Amino acid sequence: MSENSQGHIPVMMQEVLAALPEETEKTPGIANGQKVVVDMTFGGGDYSRAFLEQTDFTVLGLDRDPAAIARGEALQSAFPNRLKLVETCFSGIDSALVKADICSEEQMNAGKVVDAVVMDLGVSSFQLDEADRGFSFMHNGPLDMRMSRSGPSAADLVAEASEEELARIFWTYGEEKASRKIARALVTARKDMPFTETKQLADAVESVKPRRPKDRIHPATQVFQALRIAVNNELGEIEMAIATAAKLLKPGGALIIVSFHSLEDRIVKQMFADMADKKSHVNKYRPEQEDFKDGYVLPFKGVKAPTSAESSSNPRARSAKMRVLKRKKERVAA
Ligand SMILES: C[S@@+](CC[C@H](N)C(=O)[O-])C[C@H]1O[C@@H](n2cnc3c(N)ncnc32)[C@H](O)[C@@H]1O
């Protein structure tokens, strides 16, 4: 397993490479006739580097974090004709294809333009390890947590949300059992002093939810996860990304998602099952019903997990789950 210069180790790299489609329908006029993989979570660029070095795909790398896109410039100069980078969140995937000259707006609207879409969800080690990004209580820093560095921060959320809203966020996105107690304590404490730093928040959580000897994680872990998910609308972004990416896949194309916690995986599992089984699950981001008719299959049941060797050498891999949705080769009659 390779580790890049700043310590990010890509997860399930071999499984992702193996899930890329070998054959898709040729589409003249798209990416100069080259096969295209969209790396929706460019991050440290390890997946994209592997696609460039080990396959013949043209790669469109997306990330909402300006620092990730800036880091990618070195890789882009090594592969000037095969790597394109666009700073955007998942919901901008379709316009990014046009911006990067992969296809025209008309082709994008018609769909079926890319061979593979890959997502490696969550935050990168770069984001976690940089104290000033405010994702981690391991390094004190501003209570920020914005992947895109724009919009309301975690400090804004903790300052402005009502006690009920904070409790809902901690319960829904962190599965935090002490959600109400923690929300109450934060709302009382913020009257005297606003929460501006990660350590200050972690200490406040720990004061109402003391660490027990059997606890394997810090008492504030779930609160931090919940705030990060809320600040970045992570679950809404995943729903939109799956719906849009599915429409953009060519027949034979694959949507490959590596997720790290049950909230993410539940959405991926449900949406993939709906698309492949034509169930009538209601989802506001779901593409037109017609697009889904007999159009998708699950190439394997359930999830693929990392090997035990990968899990023991990379702790971040331990909770990883990979799911794949494929678009059937036959075109769907309208
Ligand atoms: C786990 S890292 C990806 C690591 C990458 N696969 C690699 O090999 O280095 C996830 C990245 O996805 C980005 N990201 C997460 N949610 C996003 C979203 N909704 N839109 C765009 N980028 C997102 C994050 O900013 C982060 O850089």
Please, which residues have CB within 8 angstroms of residue 32's CB and are 6 or more apart in sequence? 58
Residue 47 has pLDDT above 70, yes or no: yes
Residue 289 has pLDDT above 60, yes or no: no
Question: 122 CA distance to ligand 1 centroid (A)?
Answer: 6
Q: What one-character DSSP code corresponds to residue 304?
A: B
Do 101 and 67 have their domain in common? yes
Please, which residues have CB within 8 angstroms of residue 199's CB and are 6 or more apart in sequence? 137, 140
Residue where a domain terminates, one of 209, 231, 253 = 231
Do 241 and 299 have their domain in common? yes
| Of 1, 12, 3, residue with least CA distance to 260 | 12
Do 189 and 277 have their domain in common? no
Name which of 10-14, 31-35, 59-63, 267-271 the model is least confident about: 31-35
Residue where a domain terminates, one of 231, 249, 277 = 231
The answer to whether position 66 is within a domain reads yes
The answer to whether position 144 is within a domain reads no
Report the pLDDT value the prediction gives residue 278, as an integer from 0 to 100: 55
Question: Measured from the CA of 63, which atom of ligand 1 is nearest?
Answer: 22
The 10s digit of each residue's pLDDT in 208-231 is 998 888 888 899 999 999 999 999
The 10s digit of each residue's pLDDT in 239-283 is 999 999 999 999 999 999 999 999 999 999 999 999 997 554 555
Question: 127 CA distance to ligand 1 centroid (A)?
Answer: 10
Name which of 102-106, 192-196, 209-213 the model is least confident about: 209-213
Could you tell me if 185 and 207 are in contact, meaning their C-beta atoms sit under 8 angstroms apart? yes
Do 153 and 92 have their domain in common? no
- Locate 232 and state its tokens: 């970045």
Do 237 and 214 have their domain in common? no
Q: Whose CA is nearest to atom 1 of ligand 1?
A: 124
Q: Whose CA is nearest to atom 20 of ligand 1?
A: 89
Report the pLDDT value the prediction gives residue 316, as an integer from 0 to 100: 86
Do 118 and 237 have their domain in common? yes
Residue 333 has pLDDT above 70, yes or no: no
Higher pLDDT pick, 228 / 333: 228
Could you tell me if 328 and 295 are in contact, meaning their C-beta atoms sit under 8 angstroms apart? yes
Q: Whose CA is nearest to atom 21 of ligand 1?
A: 89
Q: Is the CB of 239 under 6 A from ligand 1?
A: no
Q: What is the CATH classification number for the domain harbouring 65?
A: 3.40.50.150
The answer to whether position 260 is within a domain reads yes
Domain count along the chain? 2
Do 113 and 18 have their domain in common? yes
Burial class (CB in 10 A: 0-12, 13-18, 19+), 14: middle
Do 177 and 36 have their domain in common? no
Do 59 and 101 have their domain in common? yes
DSSP 159-173: HHS-HHHHHHHHHHH
The answer to whether position 226 is within a domain reads yes
Report the pLDDT value the prediction gives residue 63, as an integer from 0 to 100: 98
| Of 39, 192, 188, 57, residue with least CA distance to 124 | 39
By residue range, what is the domain housing residue 204?
Answer: 149-231
| Of 146, 324, 174, 167, residue with least CA distance to 263 | 174
Could you tell me if 230 and 157 are in contact, meaning their C-beta atoms sit under 8 angstroms apart? yes
The answer to whether position 114 is within a domain reads yes
Higher pLDDT pick, 156 / 139: 156
Q: Is the CB of 171 under 6 A from ligand 1?
A: no
**Structural element, H or E, at residue 239:** helix 234-248
Q: What is the CATH classification number for the domain harbouring 213?
A: 1.10.150.170
The answer to whether position 177 is within a domain reads yes
The answer to whether position 134 is within a domain reads no
Report the pLDDT value the prediction gives residue 64, as an integer from 0 to 100: 97
Do 159 and 18 have their domain in common? no
Whole-number CA gyration radius for the chain:
21
In angstroms, the Cα distances linking 315 to 8, 263, 320 are 11, 19, 10
The answer to whether position 140 is within a domain reads no
Question: 59 CA distance to ligand 1 centroid (A)?
Answer: 15
Higher pLDDT pick, 281 / 128: 128
Question: Measured from the CA of 232, which atom of ligand 1 is nearest?
Answer: 19
Pocket test of ligand 1: the residue of 15, 17, 41, 124 to mutate, having most ligand atoms within 8 Å of its CB, is 41
- pLDDT confidence tier of residue 332, bands split at 50, 70 and 90: very low
Residue 330 has pLDDT above 80, yes or no: no
Residue 25 has pLDDT above 70, yes or no: yes
Name which of 43-47, 142-146, 242-246, 273-277 the model is least confident about: 273-277
As a whole number, mean pLDDT of residues 74-102 equals 96
Q: Is the CB of 87 under 6 A from ligand 1?
A: no
The 10s digit of each residue's pLDDT in 295-312 is 899 999 899 999 999 999
Do 115 and 259 have their domain in common? yes
Residue where a domain terminates, one of 231, 265, 298 = 231
Do 38 and 116 have their domain in common? yes
Q: Whose CA is nearest to atom 9 of ligand 1?
A: 44
Report the pLDDT value the prediction gives residue 279, as an integer from 0 to 100: 54
Question: Measured from the CA of 8, which atom of ligand 1 is nearest?
Answer: 9
Average pLDDT, the chain: 91
